[in-house]
Amino acid sequence: MPILPEPVQNLINAFERLPGVGPKSASRLTFFLLRAPDEASKNLADALQNLKSSTAFCEQCFNITMAGNRFCEICSSIQRDESQICVVEEPLDVLALERTGGFMGKYHVLHGALSPIEGIGPDDLKIRPLIERVKAGNIKEVIIATNPSMEGDATALYIKQQLQLIPIRLTRLARGLPMGGDLEYADQNTLLRALAGRQELD
């Protein structure tokens, strides 16, 4: 097997460390950049450098914002309902909810979920700032929108335990059948959750 020049192998190794990128994809990306005009490589390098130097985390919700800003656009907006906080695992979850246009409250990004197997405990997440934020007052409802997984459920339960003595409404995103889905293809857990979360037919 031919030995690749060190800069080429280093870039392949760097790409392989990215989530969802295997050895073949890493090699394809590297050789694409090798053949691409110099401008393409320079633009990618500049974008990667600016990603770290030009961004920061919001001091209130821990979503991504521009460097130098204490708060993100959502936390700074007077149009948003400050009495509602939607708790999500990652900044990408904020984007997903914002695309629906159905939530006008504010967010709190945990930056992960509880996972004892991976050694991720409450102190590794932004749970303490969430509790302090709720205790500070003016919050009427906390919507827990962690992922429907073992880790997401464990995180939701932990947050519930931490907030249960505070007089707020604590809710969890409903889970069930997707629009356009067929019952025959739904797994057992999805069907059970759909049954448990059934609503009155108006």
Helix axes 38-53, 23-35, angle to 10 degrees: 120
Q: How high is the pLDDT of residue 183?
A: 64
Q: Provide the CATH number for the domain around residue 143.
A: 3.40.1360.10
Q: How high is the pLDDT of residue 199?
A: 67
Helix axes 127-135, 150-163, angle to 10 degrees: 30
Residue 37 belongs to what domain range? Answer: 6-53
Q: How high is the pLDDT of residue 194?
A: 74
Q: How high is the pLDDT of residue 182?
A: 75
Mean predicted lDDT score pLDDT of the chain: 91
Residue spans of the chain under pLDDT 50: none
Nearest to 67 by CA among 53, 85, 79: 53
Q: How high is the pLDDT of residue 124?
A: 96
Q: Provide the CATH number for the domain around residue 31.
A: 1.10.8.420
Is 194 within a domain?
Answer: no
Q: How high is the pLDDT of residue 115?
A: 94
Q: How high is the pLDDT of residue 175?
A: 77
pTM listed for this prediction: 0.84
Rounded Cα distance, 87 and 144, in Å: 5
Q: How high is the pLDDT of residue 2?
A: 63
Q: How high is the pLDDT of residue 190?
A: 76
Is 59 within a domain?
Answer: no
Whether residue 114 sits in one domain with residue 44: no
Whether residue 45 sits in one domain with residue 82: no
Q: How high is the pLDDT of residue 200?
A: 67
Q: How high is the pLDDT of residue 144?
A: 93
Instruction: Indicate the number of domains in the chain.
Output: 2
Whether residue 132 sits in one domain with residue 86: yes
Whether residue 104 sits in one domain with residue 140: yes
Neighbours of 57 (CB within 10 A): 16
Q: Under a CB-based contact definition with an 8 Å cutoff, are residues 154 and 171 in contact?
A: no
